[in-house]
Structure 1
């Protein structure tokens, strides 16, 4: 399913009007009519009464004027509060504004702060609000008068319905530009916007519905859209199917390098997740002194002790043994609990350069790569990196705050520069491919903010690759299943306090749901995240 930027959406609008001959006024009519239907369902049904539409003088305001007309025709008391003088409204928006007067729809001009102060009492009497102020074209922080209006609307403790996007959100990143409308629901037009699926934008969007306004679907490809939402339909065909005669030799053998003193749990979780995902065989390579410990912690996986440093972490001297172990394997995962000793770092670098099978690298593996990211340019096989924002900051040289301000931009830039598959973990995890295509994940919940969850994801992705999935498909499927299994735990057990081991045990149920469309248990936010009547795709 496509997620579009503001620029891409503008180009598609323009192409629809110029190449297909669909007038802009028709698109605006379709937008306003579809948004009205969703407003009545999502907001007005539970909060009937007077409706205030606060509108700017651009096309977003024009969509609001169309909504005012449809609501008035249904006998709903509707007032338009125009944040401009009427004669400054131009084009299709002006044409729709002019239709309101003969219909008797009140239009109150609030061109400045003085006019706003004089109409505050009337505005406080509205039961619901429709935000048609700014739209998707916002490129700077909201200040001055518009910020005053946004703050006022948010303080009224009335449900707000956003037209296309909550005013104040950056369409491309989800960043709040100074201030943003807090919407209970949003009707977005043509395609979902990137910033509506990324945090914090998702918090300000509320229930989201795509309204089909007549933009041909193939224009998204022509516009070069490279952002997608990960959806079950797009993943289903990539999950490995098994014949009745399959055996463990057919389902692959995974090698994991993990663990150090005090971090044996990370190694065990990674192995358990790979087994639960369906990897036929899993071998866990650990420092020699930890092998007796790991042998008692894991049952389905095999363990092997490897040369270690004086402080008990994997030594570069293990390289020869690991090279032998890789023979016959389909994937190499490394990093969870590995430690950051320089000798371990040299070992990781050599394996990146020499591994004949795809790699999945997490945790300390990433911290070791951060000392010399250029090693990635010497990769022999596809690599999946799975950093959290702090690790991403160390890899890229940016601050964690910068990473979080534009998660997609930073993930894409790193994946393209180093030709890797990059999973930037966190709320709405991002999967970036070497060609710059980006996928945003919508599964998962706050209970996942606990130790061990990242180790589970490493084993999950590696387990899928081991069964024959391509690295990119495994990364996308892995983050989806990881979040879906956690969603099931949040519903079945509790929103917070479930364990990484419990998520591991729930992976088979999540995979079965994806494959068969079986019992659907989802964290409540996902139930209202996207209700599409437009170009959602799979």
Structure 2
């Protein structure tokens, strides 16, 4: 079932062609408000890592719905965001009252029925939605116009699909394409040469990045970057692909002067301004 010959590389040239320009007359409303449901008592840092990635990636405003205990830990580092106290728990209880340009849920959240109820309420809306970490499980998704983007590492992909990690690693692109079509979602299969497969059969791989990314929290940062880029790109496909690519280039910039052993995930967001400027 190999589809390797149908997989193309997303390159520097593609990034330069598709990164959006920021019009001089734009304002925060131009780029919209994003919702991030992330961070729990046991994993508070995930909300901060995702939030930093999002705020650095082109959105207008960010609402972080997180556990009450997490907020005072984040605000001193990320005062630019606004906060929805116990937001992901509240999202599990009732449909969202506000509309958003894009939403993400799952970073630092437990794999519980409450989280899946929150997922149901988020995807009932009409904006692009990213599902990460605790939001990833074996399930089906409703038909909708805006994309659902799932971001599994191999273990999470196996949990979602029943495909063994051993089989998956023999044909990452093939399985990503098959399940993107079956679930009608965009799949960002993380790992060396991350695969991005779309429901229509389009599939790309990313060669940017290095082993510095093999550390906890880098996936949370990527989720945030995708969320922000969905707000400033006209085309959701380009937002996802560019976020994956620039995330990798940030790691490459780090290793120009530092050991790959030493990267901390929040430093990717700190490097992004320099990396993004290279492609403008």
Task: Give the TM-score normalised by the residue count of structure 2.
Answer: 0.93
Counterparts in 2 of 1:337-486, with a 5 A limit?
337-352=108-123, 354-366=124-136, 369-370=137-138, 373-374=139-140, 376-379=141-144, 381-486=146-251
Counterparts of 1:324 and 1:295 in 2: how far apart (Å)?
24
Counterparts of 2:179 and 2:223 in 1: how far apart (Å)?
19
Counterparts of 2:149 and 2:194 in 1: how far apart (Å)?
14
- Counterpart contact for 1:447–1:496, Cα < 8 Å: yes
- Counterpart contact for 1:384–1:471, Cα < 8 Å: no
Counterparts of 1:232 and 1:331 in 2: how far apart (Å)?
25
Counterparts of 1:505 and 1:484 in 2: how far apart (Å)?
12
Q: CA deviation at 1:300?
A: 1.7
Counterparts of 1:499 and 1:294 in 2: how far apart (Å)?
17
- Partner SS, residue 28 of structure 2: coil
* Aligned residue in 1 for 2:20: 240
Counterparts of 2:268 and 2:274 in 1: how far apart (Å)?
10
Mapped pair 1:494 → 2:259: yes
Q: CA deviation at 1:490?
A: 1.1
Greater CA deviation, 401-410 or 246-255? 246-255
Q: CA deviation at 1:288?
A: 3.3
Cα 1:290–1:501 shift into 2, 3 Å: closer
Aligned length in residues: 280
Cα 1:499–1:290 shift into 2, 3 Å: closer
Cα 1:248–1:414 shift into 2, 3 Å: same
| Larger Rg belongs to | 1
5+ long unaligned stretches in structure 2: none
* Aligned residue in 1 for 2:97: 324
User: RMSD of the TM alignment (CA)?
Assistant: 2.0
- Counterpart contact for 2:64–2:87, Cα < 8 Å: no
Mapped pair 1:229 → 2:9: yes
- Counterpart contact for 1:431–1:476, Cα < 8 Å: yes
Q: CA deviation at 1:307?
A: 5.9
5+ long unaligned stretches in structure 1: 6-171, 174-193, 195-224, 516-538
Counterparts of 1:315 and 1:480 in 2: how far apart (Å)?
31
- Partner SS, residue 459 of structure 1: helix
Task: Give the TM-score normalised by the residue count of structure 1.
Answer: 0.50
